[in-house]
Amino acid sequence: MKKLLFILLFLSGAVSLKANGPDTLISCHFEGISFAQFAEEIHKISQVKLYFEESWVQEIIVTFRAEQITVKDAVKLVLSGSNLEVSVWNNQIVILPGEHLPESLPDYVIHSKADTTEDIGNVLTQSEARYLTGRKADVTQTIQIGRKGLAGSNSKVTIRGRILEQQTGEPVIGATMYLEELKSGVATDQNGFLSMVLKQGNYTASFAYMGLETKKYLLEVL
C-alpha cells in the first residue's frame, strides 16, 4: 500500500490573518466559465484563495451575477446543488466533497503553572504507553515541535507542513490532518501544503487520504 509522507516546514509563535478574507464584499459577473476560472477571478478581486481538486469541479460551469456579496457566500451559491462543502481555514476557502471542516479550533487544556516537570513528563509517558504499546498500536512516532521555554504557556503557534506520496514524492491534494483531542482537522491545498493554529500541548494527529495508508503521530507542541 502506498504511504503518506508528512514534512514539517515551519513553526512560528504568532498568528497573522487578513482582516476580511472570505467575508470580503465583492460585486461580480461571470458568464459560462469553468469553476477553475471562477476561482482564479475570485482570487484576483479579493485575494482569497480557493483550495480544491479540479476533478471535483470539472463539470461545473459558472454563470453568476451578484452585488455586494461575501466571497464565502458567492462560492456557496455557485456550488449549491453539488456535494461539495465550503469551509474556511486561515482566511482561505477549502472545498471538500461531503465534508465540512470546523471554522475555529476549540480551546485546548494546557498544563497549569502548578504542574511540575515530572508531572508533565508522566502525562506524555502515559499517552505514549496508551498508543505505542499493544498488538494493534497505530501511533508510529512521537514528534516534538518547538523548543521548551521559547513561547509563553498561553501562546498559539502556526504549524505548517506538506504531505507527499512517499514513493513518488508527489504532493497529495485533499489529504487531511485530524487531531483526535480537538475533533477537528485541516486539508492540504493543491500543492500538498497545510497549516493549523494550535495551543501548546499533546495531540494525536492522523494523516489520511483515500487509497493511501493512514499514519498517526503523537505531536508535542512545546
pLDDT tens string 151-200: 555 677 777 777 777 677 778 888 888 888 888 888 888 888 888 888 88
| Predicted TM-score of the model (pTM) | 0.43
Looking up cell 515551519 gives 10
Tell me which fold the domain 4-16+104-221 belongs to.
Immunoglobulin-like (2.60.40)
222, three cell numbers: 512545546
Does domain 21-89 correspond to CATH entry 3.55.50?
yes
pLDDT of residue 202 exceeding 80:
yes
**Cβ atoms of residues 113 and 198 within 8 Å:** no
pLDDT of amino acid 153: 56
pLDDT of amino acid 112: 34
Give start-end residues of each CATH 2.60.40.1120 domain in the chain.
4-16+104-221
Partners of 6 in the β-ladder: 163
Report d(CA 62, CA 79) in Å as an integer.
9
- Tens-place pLDDT, residues 210-219: 767 777 888 8
Report d(CA 22, CA 93) in Å as an integer.
7
pLDDT confidence band for 34 (50 / 70 / 90): very high
Residues 6+ apart with CB under 8 A from 175: 4, 163, 187, 188, 192, 194, 207, 208, 209, 212
pLDDT confidence band for 121 (50 / 70 / 90): very low
Give start-end residues of each CATH 3.55.50 domain in the chain.
21-89
pLDDT of amino acid 131: 36
pLDDT of residue 57 exceeding 50:
yes
pLDDT confidence band for 37 (50 / 70 / 90): very high
- Tens-place pLDDT, residues 79-90: 988 888 888 876
